[in-house]
Amino acid sequence: MKPVFKEVYSFDKKCYEKYRLTEDILMEHAAYEMALEIYQNVPKGSVVNIVSGPGNNGADGITLGRILHGDYIVNLYLPLGVKSDMAKLQLERFKAVGGEIKEEYHKCECLVDAVFGSGLKRDLPKEIVCLIKKMNNVNAFKLACDIPTGIDDNGNLRPVAFKADVTVTMGAEKLSLYADAAKDYIGRIKLANLGVSFSKYRGKTDYYVWEKRDLTLPYRKKQNTHKRSYGHLGVLVGEKPGAGIMAAMSAFNFGAGLVSIVSHDDKINIPYEIMHSHHIEGFSALAFGMGLNNHFDDEMENILKLDIPMVIDADMFYKDVIKEFLKKDKIVLTPHPKEFASLLKISGFGEYSVSDIQQNRFELAQKFSEKYPKTVLLLKGANKIIAFNGKLNIDPNGIAALAKGGSGDVLAGMIGALLAQGWHPLKATIHASLAHSIAGNYEPDYALTPMKLIKRLDEIERYI
């Protein structure tokens, strides 16, 4: 787990005022970290094109050019000139070692984007939009300084962005790097030290990113146990029974001692290892909503009376009764953006389109969790957000292979399995999400199915 931050300007200011560092010192460290990445990935003597903006992000790029000059053929481009004092100073230094500003673009083995970094709040000028599109068509190792040009503070594209192989971000990782829209542009993230330890540089945050190595699996550490030691999950099965059955199967494959589907259909076909019940009582946790439609509407009052953990998905987010579940403890909600829009409307936040949700994922998830601090929210997406009591946990480990019908049903079952085993709802949600993402790293990515995903839970450690 690593911290991420909405802004870092206050941390830079702390370096100047408390640690007596200068802007110049921070800039030298930033450029050196970028240089190390290039030395490791690009042979000496190669052509390196650096496109720098007019401010301090551009100054980082100019500083990089000075460091590389002599080991590489460095072409520096300044499409908007230089305006900040540091950019002007670094340009003088670049020229002093023999560096030259170029007007005509040259073929290169490495392309560095240092036009605009973090803090973008408006659309890019038209000439920069054209430039970024041109840069994206270059076949070279691409490095972005701090954050790819065109990604704003919310992680949205304004309206295009540089597509990097590596983003060297300065001092602390920015929340905007983990927005869904940014996922195709940031490449691998490298964190640059700016002259003091990360612990000294950074401050407090409510945002955390979880890595594959953070995963905890539900291993059975005691030998003197029995099946009920690992919980009994009930899964309500409705109009589309396949959704509930897949959730039940994933739960059974993720450690639950017993799993029952609850259905009033005596002819339903279920796997041999899954049990069948007509009643909602007797479980240590409950999962429902997947393919439910209007089934069990008459029993919602009785379900509300149950004092057990519950994971709620899919069709439930279109029902007014969801407001009553938000008053309970030990509730996990797993909506995708369209379902989250309905949930926000029902719970009094107002009207939001799917586009609104995607452009403001962090803000809306955080506000929801502040209003309902006892509820765990998992907002699905390219990067899953797990919100609880005003804090956001981000799982960026999934890939496009998971964009298949049934993947969410598998996830709900996995969360339910950990709830049934007695895990805290937040811990259950985070680690089920990580396991789901890791198991979903499947090649070829178009061929993953829910059943393959469930099977991969057997051997998940191979993919960490």
User: pLDDT tens-digit profile of 419-449?
Assistant: 999 999 999 999 999 999 999 999 899 999 9
User: How many whole angstroms separate alpha carbon 438 and alpha carbon 426?
Assistant: 18
Q: Which two tokens stand for residue 311?
A: 């994971």
Across the range 304-308, mean pLDDT stands at 98
**pLDDT per residue over 367-377, tens digit each?**
999 999 999 99
Task: Find the mean pLDDT for residues 297-324.
Answer: 97
Answer whether residue 396 shows pLDDT above 90.
yes
Per-residue pLDDT at 115 exceeds 90: yes
CA distances to 145, 173, 176, 207 from 201, in Å: 19, 12, 19, 16
Q: Where are the domains of the chain?
A: 2-205, 213-463
User: In terms of DSSP bridges, do strands 331-333 and 310-312 run parallel, antiparallel, or are they unpaired?
Assistant: parallel
Q: What is the pLDDT of residue 105?
A: 86
- CA–CA separation, 364 vs 356, rounded Å? 9
Helix or strand run (H / E) with residue 285: strand 285-288
- Does residue 445 contact residue 401 with C-beta atoms inside 8 Å? yes
Question: Residue 271, Cβ neighbours under 10 Å: how many?
Answer: 11
What per-residue confidence (pLDDT) applies to 462? 84
Superfamily the domain 213-463 falls into: Ribokinase (3.40.1190.20)
Q: Which of the listed CATH numbers 3.40.50.10260, 2.40.128.20, 2.60.40.10, 3.20.20.70 matches domain 2-205?
A: 3.40.50.10260
Q: How far is CA 121 from the centre of its chain?
A: 21
Give residue 463's pLDDT. 82
pLDDT band at residue 289, thresholds of 50, 70 and 90?
very high
DSSP 376: E
The label of the residue with tokens 């955080």 reads 366
Q: With a cut of 90, say whether residue 40 has pLDDT above it.
A: yes
pLDDT grade for 119, boundaries at 50, 70 and 90: confident
- Rounded Cα gap, residues 451 and 437, in angstroms: 15
Read off the pLDDT band of 459 (50, 70, 90). Answer: confident
Average pLDDT over residues 335-357: 98
Q: Which tens digit of pLDDT belongs to each residue from 49-107?
A: 999 999 999 999 999 999 999 999 999 999 999 999 999 999 999 999 999 999 988 99
The pLDDT-based confidence of 461 (bands split at 50, 70, 90) is confident
pLDDT at residue 44, as a whole number: 98
Q: What is the dihedral of CA 109, 131, 62, 77, to 10 degrees?
A: 80
Q: Which two tokens stand for residue 165?
A: 């192989």
pLDDT at 464: 80
How far is residue 178's CA from residue 155's CA, in Å, rounded to a whole number?
A: 7
Cβ atoms 52, 61 nearer than 8 A: yes
What pLDDT is attached to residue 435?
A: 98
Confirm whether pTM is higher than 0.85. Answer: yes
Instruction: Return the ∠ at Cα 385 (arms to 383 and 390), rounded to 5°.
Output: 155
Give the pLDDT band of residue 170 (cuts 50, 70, 90): very high
Express as a percent the part of the chain with pLDDT over 70: 100
